[in-house]
Amino acid sequence: TTVTLGSVAYPMLAKVGYGKDAAGGLLAAGGLGAIISPPVLGAAAFLIAEFLKISYLDVILMATIPTCLYYLALFAMVEIDVRKFGMKDVTFEQVETAWNLTKKYWFHFLSLVSIVVFMLWGFSPVLSVFWATVVSALTSFLRRDTALIPWEVFIGREKIGRGLWNSGLVKALSGGSLGVLNVAATCAGAGIIVGTVTLTGLGLKFSSIVLQYAGGSLLLTAIYTSLIVWIVGLAVPVTASYIICAVIAAPALIQLGVPDFAAHMFIFYYAVLSEVSPPTALSPFAAAAITGGDPYKTTLQCWKYTTPAFLVPFMFVLDPSGTGLLLTGSFKTLGNANWGSIALVTITAAVGIVALAGGLQGWLLRRTTVYERWMLIVAGFLLVYPTAAADVFGFVLVLAVLAMQWFHRPSTQTS
């Protein structure tokens, strides 16, 4: 995703005024969003459904608000970049309008929609993906330039052998076969690890070790769990990282009263974060190859852009009200949900993300002083800790910084 996005977006970011490292970090952060965005998410989302014995639609439901908060964090960071560095609009020639492209290629979205439809009909995740693939293949023939097998083969203008050899079908099968090798090998290895951990009881022992070092503290247990997921994720992809840590780390959180769906979503999000963690930060390294930037500086920039959003998972586990961000974890219980509590925790998280973005960037209404910057950072951490006292102190700090910036604006405004 990062490579595909980068080839299109980097020239525009460069024209706006982004440096190579900052542009690469932003591209990597944007590519990371695809893994956590409904309705498809990543392969690990199907595994969450299997582990928890719930519908895949419930996983989509749980990911909805956190995904919105993730993109809010990116929007806030980019908006501050624009104001901080005085970036200008870029005019570029528009060959095709979005509406024209939609009219031409609307059928490409059917495969995504069909996955959800098949799941609603009661199909398993595997069968849903299979039939969505069939839908994608059939709808490709609606246009000559997207047909998996050239129209000329069917009307006799081209020999079947030559037409098939050069067709999109063969290329798709070849690319898919090569692409699945890494996933298959990873899942096979992860399966062996999970089997060993389960049969030997190592998972429960490992959870006991984590709880012992944390002294029964939920906050410390969550921090240790995030570090474990990060370390495991340095060596394996997101899917394998989730599988392994769901077995060895999730029980520690669940033993402290965290709902199982919240514990698994916490691990899923930090497994995704491992994609941007050095020294094996694949997404930023791929972005750096496109922009020509330094891979490690690009990784640090990506961390900066994603940090506000990746504090949100702590809200899932540190307080029962935080599970409101996951919309109670199921469509079955959504009807009895406390919507006032869900709205409050969502707004609190959103304000905390914006405050933390302002603190990390050193800019809110204008450039911040050192004191204002630290006040925003502390406020951001307090607001993502879902307790009433922390929220009150967090809002007070944010309002104090806004007041200081507003009243000192005429004499300290900078371009």
- Pair 113, 254 in one domain: yes
Q: Are 286 and 27 spatial neighbours (Cβ–Cβ below 8 Å)?
A: no
For the cut 70, the answer to whether the pLDDT of residue 194 exceeds it is no
Of the three residues 329, 345, 370, the one that is the final residue of a domain is: 329
Q: What's the mean pLDDT in 347-356?
A: 92
Answer yes or no: do 306 and 340 share one domain: no
Q: Who wins on pLDDT, 172 or 340?
A: 340
Which of the pair, 54 or 40, is modelled with greater confidence?
Answer: 54
pLDDT one-digit tens code per residue, 241-255? 888 888 888 888 888
- Asked whether residue 415 carries a pLDDT value surpassing 50, the answer given is no
Same domain, 153 and 256: yes
Residues 56 and 170 in one domain: yes
Q: What is the mean pLDDT of residues 194-212?
A: 71
Domain boundary among 329, 344, 362: 329
Three-state secondary structure call for residue 367: strand
Axis crossing angle, helix 282-291 with helix 295-306, rounded to the nearest 10: 120
Kindly state whether residues 297 and 375 are assigned to the same domain: no
Residues 399 and 389 in one domain: yes
Which residue segment(s) compose the domain that 101 sits in? 2-329
Which residues have CB under 8 Å from 264's CB, separation 6+?
Answer: 48, 51, 52, 246, 250
pLDDT of residue 386: 72
pLDDT one-digit tens code per residue, 137-191: 888 888 777 777 777 777 777 777 766 777 777 787 887 777 677 657 766 776 7
SS3 363: strand
- d(CA 62, CA 43) in angstroms, rounded, equals 15
Whether residue 105 sits in one domain with residue 74: yes
Instruction: Over range 190-196, report the average pLDDT.
Output: 71
Q: How confident is the model at residue 399 (pLDDT cuts 50, 70, 90)?
A: very high
- Residues 195-200 have a mean pLDDT of 71
Question: Is residue 218 within 8 Å of 317, Cβ to Cβ?
Answer: yes
Residues 298 and 375 in one domain: no
Instruction: Tell which residue, 289, 234, 270, has the closest CA to residue 28.
Output: 289
What pLDDT score does 92 carry?
60
**Domain end (from 289, 309, 329):** 329
Phi, psi of 327 (to 5 degrees): 55, 45
Q: Are residues 356 and 226 in the same domain?
A: no
Instruction: State yes or no: pLDDT of 27 exceeds 80.
Output: yes
Lowest mean pLDDT among 7-21, 344-358, 364-378: 7-21
Bridge partners, residue 367, by sequence? 363
CA separation for the pair 272, 35 (Å, rounded): 7
Q: Span 270-291, mean pLDDT?
A: 79
Full-model pTM: 0.77
Is 356 in the same domain as 290?
Answer: no
Q: Is the pLDDT of residue 259 over 50?
A: yes
Q: Do 15 and 68 belong to one domain?
A: yes
pLDDT of amino acid 246? 86
> In the prediction, which pLDDT does 395 show?
93
Q: Are residues 211 and 238 located together in one domain of the fold?
A: yes
Q: Count structural domains, the chain.
A: 2
Beta bridge partners of 44: none
